[in-house]
Amino acid sequence: MATIHDVALKAGVSVTTVSRVLNNRGYISETTRGKVYGAMSELNYQPNELARSLLRKQSNLLGLIIPDVSHPFFAKLAERIEYYADQEGYKILLCNSQMNPAKERDYIDMLKRSRVDGIIMGSHTLDIGEYRNLHSRLVTFDRKIGEDIPYLSSDNYRGGKLATELLLSKGCRKIAHICGNLELDMLSQRRTDAFLDAVRKAGVEYLIVQTEMNGLDEARYRGLLQSLLEAHPDIDGIFATSDVIAAYALKECIRTGRSVPEDVRIVGYDDVSAARWATPELTTIRQPIDGFGREAVRLLRMQIEGRPVSNQNELAVELVERGTT
């Protein structure tokens, strides 16, 4: 692969001149510029970003750590993040932690060694202290890990409230809430808080089922839903914390002869496109995934440029009513 020296040689100028042409710096005569461009295209020259990054102490790399990019929510999130990153000149290093703390730690180290300019943390299996000692530019999703580290989330409480109140307003009297692991101390627990506030206030029966969300093992979802509906055949409302789970819930209802929404009403979360493949289509709480992507990249860029950023970033959610309610 050609270097800047080869180009300089072929163009009959110095490397400095080539560099100047490359970066549009200083004054350069048109003839020189032409010669340099000619040599560059003849040699198929591509500047070595490794060398540039080393010199500039800036790699234009962003690390993205998520549980699993094959989960529809994170797939869409990754796509949006990559889109905005590309627009702003950043490249994305993809890391799937599989919710494995050891892997997550290794990925963090790898990203530091790779001198990424920032890390987007969508996976949170480690203790807060570990993240705080990172000394890397960070943006986290749905988890608060320190006053000085920006996080991005949506209005989870409102999402939970909208979902639960919709079920209540439709007359549900025994509602199941299926959520992720509450020990992880994620902001998505506000959904559960809101659920509890709403069902208690309404005085209806309810139950809460925890699951490792993030789609690591879909077989587990099926089993979970099955035993839930068996143990509580009189459930008439389900608020799931992701559309994937809601889709399984819907399936299980239909399989067991329940009609949706007549016998059981279901609300999902995220509004990934999977919500529209189901029949009937899922009523769900739409998360602003595009906004997440845009903001994640922007928050990182601001930090990279040394500009102040707000640490609490909550975007709005929206109730999307479809066929399951």
Question: Which residues are at the interface with its own copies (CB under 8 A)?
Answer: 1, 44, 46-51, 53-54, 59, 64, 68-72, 75-76, 78-79, 82-83, 86, 91-96, 109-110, 112-115, 135, 215, 218, 244, 247-248, 250-251, 254-255, 273-274, 276-279
Q: CB within 8 A of 205, min separation 6: which ones? A: 173, 174, 175, 199
d(CA 275, CA 284) in angstroms, rounded, equals: 8
- Choose between 115 and 200: whose C-beta lies nearer to its own copies: 115
d(CA 321, CA 5) in angstroms, rounded, equals: 62
CB 140 within 8 A of CB 165: no
CA distances from 84 to 75, 88, 111, 224, 301 (A): 15, 6, 20, 37, 11
17 part of the interface to DNA, by CB under 7 A: yes
Q: Per CB under 7 A, which region of 27-35, 103-111, 153-161, 303-311 contacts DNA?
A: 27-35
- Choose between 80 and 190: whose C-beta lies nearer to its own copies: 80
Helix (H, G, I), strand (E, B) or coil at 278: coil
31 part of the interface to DNA, by CB under 7 A: yes
Token pair for 142:
């749905």
13 part of the interface to DNA, by CB under 7 A: yes
Nearest CA among 127, 52, 129, 146 for reference residue 91: 52
61 part of the interface to DNA, by CB under 7 A: no
Q: Name the binder of 265 from its own copies, DNA, none, CB < 5-8 A by kind.
A: none
Shortest gap between Cβ of 46 and DNA (angstroms)? 7
- Choose between 16 and 87: whose C-beta lies nearer to its own copies: 87
Shortest gap between Cβ of 13 and DNA (angstroms)? 4
d(CA 195, CA 201) in angstroms, rounded, equals: 10
Nearest CA among 256, 289, 255, 277 for reference residue 322: 277
Shortest gap between Cβ of 95 and DNA (angstroms)? 21
Binding site for DNA (CB under 7 A): 1, 3-5, 13-17, 19-20, 22-23, 25-29, 31-32, 45-48, 51-52, 54-57
